[in-house]
Amino acid sequence: MSSSLKDVAARAGVSARTVSNVVNGSARVSTQTRQRVQEAIDELGYRPNLAARNLRAGRTGVIGLAIPELHSPYFGELAGLLVDEARRRSWTVIIDQTHGDAEAERRLLTGDGGRAMDGLIISPWALEAQEVATTARPLPVVLLGERSPQGLADRVAVDNVAAADEATTHLLALGRRRVAAIGLQPHLHNGTAEQRAEGYRSALRRAGVTPKPRWERSVTSLHRQDGARAMAELLDGDDGDTPDAVFAFTDELALGALHMAHARGLRVPDDLAVVGFDDIEDSRFSHPTLTTVSPDKRQIAERALQCLADRIYSPENEVPALDLTIPHRLVVRGSTGPGAQAH
Amino acid sequence: MSSSLKDVAARAGVSARTVSNVVNGSARVSTQTRQRVQEAIDELGYRPNLAARNLRAGRTGVIGLAIPELHSPYFGELAGLLVDEARRRSWTVIIDQTHGDAEAERRLLTGDGGRAMDGLIISPWALEAQEVATTARPLPVVLLGERSPQGLADRVAVDNVAAADEATTHLLALGRRRVAAIGLQPHLHNGTAEQRAEGYRSALRRAGVTPKPRWERSVTSLHRQDGARAMAELLDGDDGDTPDAVFAFTDELALGALHMAHARGLRVPDDLAVVGFDDIEDSRFSHPTLTTVSPDKRQIAERALQCLADRIYSPENEVPALDLTIPHRLVVRGSTGPGAQAH
DNA sequence: ATGAAAGCGCTAACAC
DNA sequence: GTGTTAGCGCTTTCAT
């Protein structure tokens, strides 16, 4: 098997203590001894055993990342940024996909891993934010997304209501009046959908447009095919009152809607203007390119890790839970670009 | 702090041994004792400490997953499947993004983690497969992708040459003769690009078409913008000899090419037929939908985990390294669909 | 500047 | 069926 600290000590003719000091660069060791120890380390190919180190230190250097789905572009991009940022801080990331399942979300929180991690970043779908916060205790947790833990834990999110309002207002400013929304999720008490719907409605009302229930389409999940299906429902309306604009609550939904619009022979943006939410990579290359709300994902990742670091390294600072709002901006592209002005 | 096995033992009035047995369900324990212990566990909210368990058992229950980039759809989808499959086998996954950087790839192999994992799944970009295999020793490793470790470790991949040949042959069968390729990476000695180029050329030759250097476009990375740039180069050819078909080595490249073709006013598939590789979700909803080579990703994930499990749990079986070829199929969609027949 | 030794929480070999 | 005990490899007080 592989060699231990004791082996190194024996080989270098010093005590374990000294080897430990060399490895951790902690106390002062004479240059001569250090060199001898280093040689022994190299010769033996010694690697400190993390399990033992953690057992002693009571800290693992590992954080958990619980995310609904890795394959969706938004979460894929976010996970990538979070992993990189964690690495910068010398943390290892264990990742888990919850698929929005309550049991799966609880699994990590109840420490199924057994103090296997120092902290957790979670984007809950099924669980109430408050349940997440209380269940996790005393594990430091940062929540990502719309559901507020009401001061029981740190949270990082964009202002969804404002962002949805902006997106809708943008469509209205083009002169569109029959503005539909795709992405409600009444079966989930999902803050995301609710907040975006709220922003959508408030923008309509401010413009003097009465929200129309038929134009608010629900979806089961947030993927392209759900968007395509919802778009089909909108176009199949028998009252001939089809929308001239759509605000989709995610880019994936918007791309699905775009797909269906093409299939039905609609011209985008002339016949139908479309706005999405997330600014995933695809949206910059779709046909037409997609106007979308762009949250600052990098900042989400950085702030989330910063919060976690503060909780882990300074638990004694009983700082009240933070609620960080990350900036976003509306990126105007082809799907509402030139040609989108209503006639 | 949290309670230990010893605390539980004291509270239940039994020895540590018995508690351990209850927790692990190992030896037989009288129903009465078990119940008493269970109560103590519940009351104290006891959770076994993983670090200690690992230290004893010499096994961590953790596997590593080293992937170039989480944000790219192909790797995002694959990572999702791998994580789910690992979970099914009760493994925890620590994830790392290498960004195709040699140092980053080596980091995990040299056990920077310090036996922090029982095995590793890696999709190398920078490192030679053989270096990966030898550096990792004695850590069990499964390689994903095109570079062969020459029997030094297990590998799971699709037959790239055959797949690229099929894709190209499909374009030729439509009557196209000016078939370009996008995605060569001469600066990387990347098996992927080389093998796909080989399949592309062999298909051309078999059809009596002489491969033309100008039609083989190199890219820096494999993303949409690289595909768009390469497409622009092809269309900017001053000899008027522009291609009537493109085989892109990844779907992302193909989608970028599609984007540029639209921008230049080309009709796809009429003016230009396009085939990609990977079958990412976007390709089913792009405009037009993308014909692509679809590797069986789920099977890649399952087989990779199976290999790893065999090495970890039965290291004594000195089974020679496996080289598993995963099935793929050509999925024909709009980008080479009706209308693609050459005139 | 270095050594000796205790002990982190757990499992398993050995008793009974 | 259950108790006792010896470490797993490391860090860290207490000595020297």
User: Most B CBs within 10 Å: which of A84, A225, A282, A297, as the mutation test of the B interface?
Assistant: A282
Work out the average pLDDT over A35-50. 87
Structure confidence by residue, pLDDT tens digits, A162-211: 999 999 999 999 999 999 999 999 988 768 899 999 999 999 999 999 99
Length of chain A: 343
| pLDDT score at B241 | 82
Token readout for A124 is: 């809950």
Report the CATH number that the domain containing residue B29 is assigned in CATH. 1.10.260.40
Q: Is residue B304 located within the same domain as residue B291? A: no
Nucleic acid strand D within 7 Å of B71 CB: no
One domain, residues A27 and A102 = no
Assign A97 to helix, strand or coil: strand
CB contact under 8 A, A96 and B84: no
User: What confidence score (pLDDT) does residue A114 get?
Assistant: 62
Q: Are residues A153 and A208 in the same domain?
A: no
B255 and B170 both lie in a single domain: yes
Mean pLDDT estimate for chain A: 91
Give the pLDDT score at A64.
93
Indicate whether A71 belongs to any domain: yes
Rounded CA-CA distance A78/A121 in Å is: 12
pLDDT of residue B26: 73
- How many independent structural domains does chain A possess? 3
Q: For position A187, what pLDDT does the model report?
A: 84
Please count the CA atoms within 13 angstroms of the CA of A227 that sit on its side-chain side. Answer: 26
| Cβ–Cβ gap B84/A76 under 8 Å | no
Tell me if B289 is assigned to some domain: yes
Q: What are phi and psi of A136, to 5 degrees?
A: -65, -35
- Among B53, B71, B99, most A C-beta atoms within 10 A, so best to mutate, is B71
Same domain, A44 and A115: no
Give the range of the structural domain holding residue A151, as residue numbers without chain letter: 60-158+297-326
Q: Tell me which chain B residue has its CA closest to the CA of residue A116.
A: B50
- Choice among A42-46, A107-111, A339-343, B24-28 with the minimum mean pLDDT: A339-343
The nucleotides of chain C lying under 7 Å from a protein CB are 1-13
3-class DSSP assignment, residue A301: helix
Give residue B3's Cα distance to chain centre.
41
- Asked if residue B85 belongs to a domain, the reply is yes
Query: What tokens does B293 get?
Result: 């080579």
Distance CA A229, CA A235 (A): 10
The predicted-structure confidence for A275-325, as pLDDT tens digits, reads as follows 999 999 999 999 999 999 999 999 999 999 999 999 988 876 678 899 999
Same domain, B268 and B176: yes
Are the beta carbons of B113 and A53 separated by less than 8 Å?
no
Does some domain include residue B320?
yes
pLDDT of residue A135: 86
Per-residue pLDDT, B341: 66
**C-alpha atoms less than 13 angstroms from C-alpha of A126 in its C-beta half-sphere:** 15
Note the pLDDT of residue B50.
83
Using DSSP, how many helices (H) and how many strands (E) does chain B show? 12, 12
Claim to verify: residue A201 and residue A322 sit in the same structural domain: no
A101 with A14, same domain? no
pLDDT bin (cut points 50, 70, 90) of residue A237 is: confident
Q: Do B151 and B188 reside in the same domain of the chain? A: no
Q: How confident is the model at residue A110 (pLDDT cuts 50, 70, 90)?
A: confident
Based on the domain organization, do B76 and B176 belong to the same domain?
A: no
Range A19-41 average pLDDT:
85
The answer, yes or no, to whether residue A150 has pLDDT greater than 70, is: yes
Question: Mean pLDDT by 10-residue block, N- to C-terminus, for chain B (343 residues)?
Answer: 84 89 80 88 86 84 93 97 94 92 86 76 91 87 89 94 98 96 88 94 97 94 97 84 95 97 93 97 95 98 96 79 96 88 58
Asked if the structure places residue A53 within a domain, the reply is: no
Query: Does residue B182 sit within a domain?
Result: yes
Q: What is the pLDDT of residue B115?
A: 65
**Span of A230-234, A260-264, B189-193 with lowest mean pLDDT:** B189-193
CATH number at residue A149: 3.40.50.2300
Q: What angle do CA B70, A286, B214 make, to 5 degrees?
A: 85
CA distance A58 to A337: 56
Q: Are B190 and B224 contained in the same domain?
A: yes
Residue B341 domain flag: no
Please tell me what DSSP assigns to residue A65. E
B108 and B184 fall within a common domain: no
Q: Say if A200 falls within a structural domain.
A: yes
